[in-house]
């Protein structure tokens, strides 16, 4: 039943358009479906076990990835889109087949049956004890892996994802008249579900761009396709700001930009607003919650001292604070605790090997995000443990990072601490960083001293990482 829902838009909006900007080709939804039908016939001939996992690996072209995603759904398989170089992070998963654009030499396929299907290299019979799900299993996405080392394999359901898509459409008033530019990887739940599938279900025009090339071609893409919205992570936004730091404004017809997938720090917000001069939706969510949960609309540049709340809760979702005494003495009578999400879009569980570890509730998710509630609004302080205690106060890594993002060369900040609250601050950057200036900013704002309280680690940014 729910499987069919993912193919209805192809017929309902048969004349809507998907553009593969990297190949300068456009297709109607009907033409895309016909291509999917052909690929699915080849996959079906392999007689793979229904509701088993198929890894779609190493496709740089989003359009090709999406053709395979839908082809797997059509064959009652569970797709898992994995970026190039990610095979070492999925060895803990008992998947049935791997589909790749180029021949794979990794040991993971050495005992597999290999076959070409259309232009794809398919390796199957990889494991004897594969995971077998049921008809509601939609796809597997991975966590970032930053907190657990090996990324968790998150199983999302068809019914739950459809509910999240409907909620997302309503929260941002997305219509068939919208034209969205996809620069995020479709292996990422924010790019696939929040952006692509939300617009696909609406019948909107979808322009699929290549990440770095798309950034460099933004003005041309905006003008050529009359783009009405772009979805960004803070990192993608800062990459754009880096390349356009000498340009005061990019001419556009944008109805809005979204910023999600991580906390969009205040300097990023302010600079994106000045570059595009359009409303910004700050979206909060996580893959386990479907993925989108709340939306905050900014119609003007946030003030210097403004706090970023997570905004209005998306339709059909309820939030509350699961109180904890751990932080209460630091925040007086302000309600503080773990953010709890009640939603029809909760994930089905984590897959470990061939076993599904289901959540304790299929309706309520308790996150590791610590929030305070003020005037019926929720403000995220940070993840559990992402702080140090210094001079009888808590310094959250989120607020610490704000001081570092003022420099346009800084693209991403990663902060860790040891058992004695000494921090390692990793700064991913382009060009040279003025280290004394960074150290002075932390000293002035927090009285933190390099060497005593933290070590600064400078890391040249790798273009392959975009989340």
- Provide DSSP, 41-87: HHHHTT-PPTTBEEEEE----HHHHHHHHHHHHHTT-EEEEE-TT-G
Arithmetic mean of pLDDT over the chain: 91
Bigger pLDDT: 390 vs 56? 56
> How far apart, in whole angstroms, are the C-alpha atoms of residue 159 and residue 170?
17
* pLDDT on residue 267: 86
* pLDDT on residue 463: 59
Bigger pLDDT: 200 vs 377? 200
> How far apart, in whole angstroms, are the C-alpha atoms of residue 353 and residue 94?
5
Closest by CA position to 324, among listed 362, 286, 294, 369: 369
Closest by CA position to 16, among listed 165, 178, 162, 174: 178
The mean pLDDT value for 448-463 works out to 89
> How far apart, in whole angstroms, are the C-alpha atoms of residue 231 and residue 258?
5
pLDDT exceeds 70 at position 40: yes
* pLDDT on residue 147: 45
> How far apart, in whole angstroms, are the C-alpha atoms of residue 141 and residue 80?
6
The mean pLDDT value for 440-454 works out to 93
Is 93:141 a contact under the CB 8 Å cutoff?
no
* pLDDT on residue 407: 83
> How far apart, in whole angstroms, are the C-alpha atoms of residue 284 and residue 398?
15
pTM: 0.94
Q: For residue 466, name the pLDDT band (cuts at 50, 70, 90).
A: very low
Q: Which of 175-189, 250-264, 383-397, 448-462 holds the top average pLDDT? A: 175-189
First to last CA, the chain: 33
């Amino acid at each position: 039943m729910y499987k069919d829902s993912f193919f209805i838009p192809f017929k309902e909006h048969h004349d809507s358009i998907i553009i593969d900007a990297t190949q300068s080709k456009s297709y109607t939804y009907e033409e895309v479906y016909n291509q999917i039908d052909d690929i699915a016939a080849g996959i079906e001939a392999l007689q793979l076990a229904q509701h088993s996992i198929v890894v779609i690996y190493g496709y740089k072209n989003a359009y090709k990835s999406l053709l395979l995603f839908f082809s797997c759904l059509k064959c009652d398989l569970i797709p898992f889109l994995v970026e190039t170089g990610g095979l070492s992070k999925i060895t803990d998963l008992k998947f049935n087949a791997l589909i790749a654009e180029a021949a794979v030499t990794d040991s993971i396929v050495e005992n597999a049956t290999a076959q070409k299907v259309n232009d794809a290299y398919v390796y199957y019979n990889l494991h004897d004890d594969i995971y077998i799900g049921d008809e509601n299993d939609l796809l597997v996405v991975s966590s970032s892996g930053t907190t657990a080392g090996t990324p968790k394999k998150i199983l999302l359901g068809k019914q739950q994802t459809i509910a999240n898509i409907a909620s997302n459409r309503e929260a941002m008033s997305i219509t068939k008249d919208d034209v969205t530019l996809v620069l995020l990887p479709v292996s990422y739940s924010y790019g696939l579900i929040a952006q692509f599938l939300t617009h696909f279900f609406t019948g909107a025009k979808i322009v699929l761009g290549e990440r770095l090339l798309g950034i460099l071609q933004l003005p041309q893409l905006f003008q050529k396709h009359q783009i009405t919205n772009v979805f960004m992570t803070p990192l993608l936004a800062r990459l754009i700001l880096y390349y356009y730091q000498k340009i005061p404004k990019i001419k556009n017809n944008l109805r809005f930009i979204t910023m999600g997938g991580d906390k969009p720090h205040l300097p990023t917000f302010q600079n994106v607003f000045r570059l595009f001069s359009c409303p910004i939706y700050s979206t909060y969510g996580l893959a386990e919650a479907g993925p989108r949960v709340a939306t905050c609309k900014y119609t003007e540049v946030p003030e210097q001292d403004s706090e970023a709340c997570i905004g209005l809760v998306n339709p059909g979702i309820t939030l509350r604070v699961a109180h904890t005494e751990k932080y209460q003495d630091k925040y007086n009578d302000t309600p503080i605790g773990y953010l709890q999400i009640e939603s029809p879009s909760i994930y089905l569980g984590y897959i470990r090997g061939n076993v599904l570890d289901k959540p304790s509730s299929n309706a309520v998710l308790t996150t590791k995000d610590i929030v305070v509630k003020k005037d019926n609004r929720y403000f995220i302080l940070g993840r559990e443990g992402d702080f140090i205690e210094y001079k009888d106060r808590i310094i959250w890594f989120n607020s610490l990072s704000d001081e570092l993002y003022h420099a346009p060369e800084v693209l991403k900040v990663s902060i860790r601490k040891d058992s004695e609250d000494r921090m390692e601050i990793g700064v991913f950057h382009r060009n040279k960083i003025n280290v004394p200036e960074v150290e002075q900013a932390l000293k002035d704002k927090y009285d933190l001293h390099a060497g005593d309280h933290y070590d600064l680690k400078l890391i040249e940014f790798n273009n392959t990482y975009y989340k």
